[in-house]
Amino acid sequence: MEERLSFVLEQMEDRKDELIELVKTLIAFETPAPPARNTREAQDFVASYLNRLGFDIDMWDVYPNDPNVVGTLKGKASDYYKSLIVNGHIDVAEVNEDEEWEKDPFTPVVRDGVIIGRGAADMKGGLAGALFALKLLREAGIDFPGDIIFQSVIGEEVGEAGTLQCCQRGYKADFAVVVDTSDLHIQGQGGVITGWITVKSKQTFHDATRRNMIHAGGNLFGASAIEKMVKIIAGLQDLERHWAVTKSYEGFLPGTNTINPAVIEGGRHAAFIADECRLWITVHYYPNETYEQVAKEIEDHIVSVANSDPWLKENPPIFTWGGTSMIEDRGEIFPSLEVDPSHEAVQLLARTHTEVSGTKAVIDVSPTVTDGGWLGDAGIPTAIYGPGTLQYAHSVNEQVSIDQLVKFTKVMTQFIYNWTHSKK
């Protein structure tokens, strides 16, 4: 069997053009999110690809025309050997009409050692490499003692919980690899949660009453919700500075844990004192924190700020956290993910990377977020490992290095084989 694995790895160079064509095929499916609701054709392709390799297919709509695909290949001795989840998202970043691409973003271009097209780096290159690794192994007649679960999910670009639904559906494994953009680093990540803070008056007032609210002797207990939100924002800035001083995590620059006042909405029109104001915030937190924890810290601090103001004390801020979609309910959660360098699978992945690439594996943290947090949140040891760099992800003329893509595919081929042949 070891000889057959060596043969498969040697084949990779000869069959590089097949891998490139697979990446091009995936890019050609137009799956930007937003607008989303456009992945069915691409997911049908992935499902058929996995089915031809002997995988049992579970496909269901997360949203209309946006299905998840999970392929399961049961191991020959599942009770005794390690299982693996390979996870990636089929949606890609949005494209604006005024962007100056070499060609249409969904007409892939191959030149100068790279593949150019929307999703090349984030993350159809990773999906293609993992799929092709499985194809090479299966065509060589290799069976696996442990289970392999391949998840092609929707919605990652807009905070839609395709991966969360996989977890809720009961998919588990001894380890998971999220083949998202990591420049072949083995990574954990911080987390992100969005929230809405609402300041709302119990009463509405004509704008002519403003003098009575703000001048001595006016004798009107009222306020502009917009102006009171200024105090809330100042309180958030104080907490953000406090976090920067008191919290840290190796691999992140100090102050990476931020509270961004991203969007503000409020007021009716010019004839009213603003009776409501809503602030949309984005919170980045460290891998050793949870979204529940940071949300509570913010609420506790802002309630203290409100209690120091007579009007806000009587009209306290309202908090709404997270959401299942930036499109559907204007909210998202990306749980954080800590990678344990001593974990058996992480060490195996690192050794495999070094053997294949000839360079020492880097274990660090991603400056962005992926669906890996949902797998970790479900109790599955997980790492992010994929081709492509964040420099090109989401960019005009997005691209992935063919050389790096080939290395990734070789690493995944060897890792999938070795991990599923590891005894529990």
Within this chain, do residues 47 and 143 fall inside the same structural domain, yes or no? yes
Say yes or no: 195 and 310 in one domain.
Answer: yes
* Separation between Cα atoms, residue 85 and residue 395, nearest integer Å: 29
- Compute the distance between CA of residue 232 and CA of residue 311 in angstroms, rounded to an integer: 13
Q: Look at residue 2 in the predicted model and tell me its pLDDT.
A: 79
Instruction: Judge if 178 and 200 occupy the same domain.
Output: no
Same domain? 17 vs 166: yes
Same domain for 153 and 239, yes or no, is no
Assess whether 139 and 195 both reside in one domain: no
**In a shared domain, residues 172 and 205:** no
10 and 76: one domain?
Answer: yes
pLDDT at 417: 97
Q: What CATH number has the domain bearing residue 139?
A: 3.40.630.10
Residue 31 per-residue DSSP state: -
Strands, E assignment, 120-240: 148-153, 175-178, 186-189, 191-200
Residues 25 and 116 in one domain: yes
| Residues marked as catalytic | 91, 156
Q: Are residues 172 and 200 in the same domain?
A: no
Domain stop point among 288, 321, 354: 321
Give the model's pLDDT for residue 1: 52
Examine residue 332 and state whether it is found in any structural domain, yes or no.
no
Whether 292 is covered by a domain: the verdict is yes
- 47 occurs within a structural domain: yes
317 and 345 housed in the same domain: no
Structural domains counted in the chain? 2
Q: Both 224 and 352 in a single domain?
A: no
Range of the domain at 294: 191-321
What string of pLDDT tens digits covers the 424 residues of the chain?
578 888 899 889 899 999 999 999 999 999 999 999 999 999 999 999 999 999 999 999 999 999 999 999 999 999 999 999 999 999 999 999 999 999 999 999 999 999 999 999 999 999 999 999 999 999 999 999 999 999 999 999 999 989 999 999 999 999 999 999 999 999 999 999 999 999 999 999 999 999 999 998 999 999 999 999 999 999 999 999 999 999 999 999 999 999 999 999 999 999 999 999 999 999 999 999 999 999 999 999 999 999 999 999 999 999 999 999 999 999 999 999 999 999 999 999 999 999 999 999 999 999 999 999 999 999 999 999 999 999 999 999 999 999 999 999 999 999 999 999 999 9
**163-168 own/partner pairs: CB under 8 Å, 24+ apart:** 163/87, 163/89, 163/371, 163/374, 163/375, 164/374, 165/60, 165/62, 165/68, 166/68, 166/70, 166/87, 167/374, 167/375, 167/377, 167/378, 167/380
